[in-house]
Amino acid sequence: MPSIQSKATSYGIVIDAGSSGSRVQIYSWPSTFTSKLTLPKVGKGGVDWYKKVNPGISSYSTHVDDLAESHLEPLIEHAKDIIPREKHAETPIFLYATAGMRLLSPEDQQKILSRTCEYITAKSTFLLTDCDAHIKVIDGETEGLYGWLALNYMMGALDAPDKHNHGKGHHTYGFLDMGGASAQVAFAPNATEAEKHMDDLYSVRLRTQSGEPREFGVFVSTWLGYGANQAHRRYIELLVEEAQAKSSSPSNDDAVSSEQEVIIDPCSPNGYRDDDEPLLGGRILQGSGNLTECLSKTYPLLSKDLPCKDDPCLFGGVHAPAIDFDVNHFIGVSEYWHTMKSRLFADVVPLGGSDKELEGAAGGGAYDYATFSKKVQNFCARDWSEIKKAKDTKNIDKDQLKVLCFKGSWVMNVLHSGFGVPRTSALAASTSGTDKVVDAAANKGFVDHFKSIDTINGVELSWTLGKMILYASSEVPLAPTWATVNSSQTVVGYGPNNGNFIPEKFGIGKVVPLIPEKDDDLDGWWDDYGFNVTTLSTQSTLSQRRLPGLLMFAAIFIMMAYVLTGKFRRRKLTFTLTPKRYRRRVFGTTTPSGLESGVNLVTNAATPV
Residue 183 marked ligand-binding: yes
- For 504, the enclosing helix (H) or strand (E) is none
Residues in contact with 346: Cβ distance below 8 Å, sequence separation at least 6, in sequence order: none
Q: Catalytic annotation on 77?
A: no
The beta strands (E) that lie in 31-85 are given as: 50-53
Q: Which of 143, 193, 357, 460 is catalytic?
A: 143
Q: Are 1 and 154 within 8 A, CB to CB?
A: yes
Residues in contact with 608: Cβ distance below 8 Å, sequence separation at least 6, in sequence order: 598
Q: Secondary structure of 115-182 in the HEC alphabet?
A: HHHHHHHHHCCCECCCHHHHEEECCHHHHHHHHHHHHHHHHCCCCCHHHHCCECCECCCEEEEECCCE
Strand duo 262-265 + 284-287: pairing: parallel
Residue 228 marked ligand-binding: no
Q: Are 113 and 137 within 8 A, CB to CB?
A: yes
In whole angstroms, how large is the CA radius of gyration of the chain?
32
Nearest of 111, 141, 126, 103 to residue 15 by alpha carbon: 126
- Separation of alpha carbons 137 and 264, rounded Å: 38
Residue 70 marked ligand-binding: no
Residue 255 marked ligand-binding: no
The phi-psi region of residue 587 (left if phi > 0; otherwise alpha if psi is between -120 and 50; otherwise beta) is: alpha
Query: In whole angstroms, how far apart are CA 536 and each of 134, 334, 386, 514, 518?
Result: 17, 35, 63, 8, 13
Residue 180 marked ligand-binding: yes
Strand duo 213-224 + 459-460: pairing: unpaired
Residues marked as catalytic: 143
Annotated binding residues for ATP: 180-184
Instruction: Summarize the annotated binding site as residue ranges.
Output: 180-184
